[in-house]
Amino acid sequence: MSDFPFLSVLTVAPLVGALVVVFMPATRAELAKRIALGWSLAVLVLAVFMWIAFEAGGDRLQLRESYSWIPRWGVNFTFAADGIALVMLMLIALLVPVVILASWHEAESSKRSVPVYFALLLFLECTMIGVFAAADVFLFYVFFEVMLVPMYFLIGSYGGHQRQYAAVKFFLYSLVGGLFMLAAVIGLWVVGGKTFDWQALTQIDISTGTERWLFLGFFVAFAIKAPFFPFHTWLPDAGGAAPAGSAALLVGVMDKVGTFGILRYCLPLFPDASKWFAPWAIALALIGIIYAALLAVGQNDLKRLVSYTSIAHFGFIGVGIFAFTTQAGTGAVLYMVNHGLATGLLFLVVGMFVARRNSALITDFGGAGKLVPVLAGVLFFAGLASLALPGTAPFISEFLVLIGTYTVNKPVAIVATAGIILAAAYVLWMVQRTTQGTLNPALAGVESMRRDMSIREKVVVAPLIALLLLLGFYPKPVTDVINPAVQATMEQDLGKQDPAPTVGTVQEAHR
């Protein structure tokens, strides 16, 4: 089974599906939707077989494939996955069919081609899989940049208010970050013996000054993509203007390329520079946690509020990465997965409210739970998962990040904990203003607000709710895959060992 070219097939399959769907006439929109959904489900099935073929605790990089591309420059189509990449690939394979089903009527109001919309979603899936599966630095950069194209058109052509402004801002921010990375990629090729192979580059020695400059080139690109403070301003605009399904993929998966890139490229390729810049990265992460949470509290737009919550969550992921402990690192990667599930669900449910009210403003709702009680209940659950309520998956990852950070840097863990309190404030206040209290008289005259969740919408949210609960009580199948890759990064690449338990802790454990 492991000899099967899973990663290349997973990358190419959605592209083929996109080409099939995009050339369908606009009059066959319903057929285009069905083909796109079926194609994405086939990719999900293949991803499940890939998960089965992966050996947790085996080689660091598995499922490796390599095909010559530009021999003169040492560029190859090299794919390989460690545990970190594997869980992100599974997240993509799961979210895309959910988003396609959730977006069934999303493109119809835009007066643009429905088949093109679903073709763009499949093309986006292709690029997202490619960026996580790439084991060649140049190939990673190509997917990193091409990934912008489908999302740009999804926002700019099918988005809501100020969609063109948001699309251009998203593209320009990401493009500037990509230029920093391109300069660093070229520099790495020069000092690395004219190769782009990830495994070969992890073995080279780089002078201190050069390593720090190369680290900065990659880190700036990833900090913009995540985004970290102060590179975050594009996300609320893009998340607010994008269609709900596209926003779920933007925040749930695409932004994780930034944190994944730090783990896959910054830490292993530039270990000394990573340790030197770690205090600054942690400072940016902490500012992002508090600053974005405070901004979220004051938002009146549901989609922008969810976008700001994601910036705060990425702060926790940043803290977990740069704490340099296996526990915090595993928590950070698990946070990437759980955030994709929780925020993906939250964006999709918010999109259902917006579609019914034709407005994303919280003040246009009020007491909506009296009209759509099931939908309001799902919004409440999604909000609780987002604030990391015990029993939901994000709690496990947030706890691991904080406890792993506390063992090496108590002040950072204490400051980050303030973000949990603020999360409860902005989530519960959003839910209260949207679904609780006296019914807004304006809602009574909106016929669509009297329709509670349809069967299709229930099918959309059911797998996300199930996974958030399952991983909240039993995350072991995922952590067993993640932990060896994180441990290899911390111990082999950075030379970091987890701190031994203190005498007091050991005595307490024996009582």
> Is residue 145 in a domain?
no
> Is residue 210 in a domain?
no
* Contacts within 8 Å (CB) and 24+ apart, 210-213: 211/270, 211/272, 211/273, 212/270, 212/273, 212/276, 212/277, 213/184, 213/187
Is the backbone peptide bond immediately before 227 cis, with ω within 30 degrees of 0? yes
> Is residue 194 in a domain?
no
Q: What is the pLDDT of residue 508?
A: 45
Q: What is the pLDDT of residue 333?
A: 95
**Into how many domains does the chain fold?**
1
Secondary structure class of 437 (helix, strand, coil): coil
> Is residue 300 in a domain?
yes
Q: What is the pLDDT of residue 502?
A: 59
> Is residue 301 in a domain?
yes
Q: What is the pLDDT of residue 499?
A: 77
Is the backbone peptide bond immediately before 230 cis, with ω within 30 degrees of 0? yes
Show the domain range for 278: 270-499
| Residue 336 and residue 313 in contact, taking contact as beta carbons nearer than 8 Å | no
Amino acid at 110: S
| Residue 140 and residue 147 in contact, taking contact as beta carbons nearer than 8 Å | no
| Residue 272 and residue 209 in contact, taking contact as beta carbons nearer than 8 Å | no
Q: What is the pLDDT of residue 2?
A: 67
> Is residue 11 in a domain?
no
> Is residue 423 in a domain?
yes
Q: What is the pLDDT of residue 452?
A: 86
Q: Which residues contact 212 (CB under 8 A, 6 or more apart)?
A: 270, 273, 276, 277
> Is residue 97 in a domain?
no
Tens digit of pLDDT at every position of the chain (511 positions): 468 999 999 999 999 999 999 999 888 889 999 999 999 999 999 999 999 999 988 888 999 999 999 888 888 999 999 999 999 999 999 999 999 999 998 877 767 889 999 999 999 999 999 999 999 999 999 999 999 999 999 999 888 888 999 999 999 999 999 999 999 999 999 998 888 999 999 888 999 999 999 999 999 999 999 899 888 899 999 999 999 999 999 999 999 999 999 999 999 999 999 999 999 999 999 999 999 999 999 899 999 999 999 999 999 999 999 999 999 999 999 999 999 999 999 999 999 999 888 888 988 898 888 889 999 999 999 999 999 999 999 999 999 999 999 999 999 999 999 988 899 998 999 999 999 988 888 887 787 777 888 999 999 999 999 999 999 999 999 999 999 999 999 988 777 777 766 544 444 434 4
Q: Which residues contact 367 (CB under 8 A, 6 or more apart)?
A: 435, 436, 437, 438, 439, 440, 443
